[in-house]
Amino acid sequence: MGVYGETNMRGGVSVSGISNLNIKVFSDGADLDSIIDAYRKGVVKGFTTNPTLMAKAGITNYMAFALEVLRVVKDLPVSFEVFSDEFDEMREQAMKLKALGGNVYVKIPVTNTKGQSACPLIHDLAAQGIKLNITAILSMRQVREVAAALLPNVPSIVSVFAGRIADTGRDPLPLMKDSLELLKALPAAELLWASPREALNIVQAAEMGCHIITVTPDLLAKCANFGKDLEVYSLDTVKMFYNDAVKSGFSL
């Protein structure tokens, strides 16, 4: 069966099961075909990208790519990131990105490569009513500083990289819960669980009350197994091992 919305033949629930979770799923990537496909099928509630994803996708013209995405996605949030390392240039880039459409969120890294805080710039942009997505946050100190820089009535996304926190051997849930509590003082701000590593993270994020989670197309495809009977899944796994061994012509 297909990845988007169909029911598995033996009772499991595919990606349509995500709609039963109290969280907004944003697609994270820079492959235009995947973005268009996800948008047209109504799978996600928004889109994010970044310079690394764009480079991996072979994009060389930033503005042309952004305009093509916005030609299709006109009614859902789309985050595009500044890429300068100087705050004055970041401000100029932010203004250009903001002008592309009312559904654009401008992504600002929490610091530049020198470790200098972007919070003064974040505050200035928020004061101009620009929708912001603050990215690359990994510590509670950074969450507090960003929250202090944002304005209560200006839409914003606070992207905490829970997956990268987990990569360091730390449980990200306590920090995510503390972040959510802190952001209650900012009614227009939403907490985003960034860089999930497995489908379970979507459930974890939803259960703790996180507003948004970013999901790559590959991870979204794994959600086809939501609700699947575990013994059926076991049999599918055995069949996969067997079929691959036959195709490879192995012998002992």
Tens of pLDDT along 77-123?
999 999 999 999 999 999 999 999 999 999 999 999 999 999 999 99
Of the chain, the percentage scoring pLDDT greater than 70 comes to: 93
Domain map (residue ranges) of the chain: 15-248
**Assigned CATH for 15-248:** 3.20.20.70
The encoded tokens of residue 243 equal: 């079929």
Q: What is the pLDDT of residue 17?
A: 63
What does the pLDDT look like over 113-161, one tens digit per residue? Answer: 999 999 999 999 999 999 999 999 999 999 999 999 999 999 999 999 9
- CA distances for 6 relative to 3, 46, 206, angstroms: 7, 21, 22
| For residue 9, pLDDT beyond 90 | no
Q: What is the dihedral of CA 59, 62, 65, 71, to 10 degrees?
A: 170
Q: Which of 107, 177, 239, 247 is catalytic?
A: 107
- Residue 16 pLDDT exceeds 80: no
pLDDT > 50? residue 3:
no
Q: Find the mean pLDDT for residues 216-241.
A: 94
Residue 5 predicted with pLDDT over 80: no
- Closest C-alpha to 23, from 45, 48, 5, 47: 45
- 107 classed as catalytic: yes
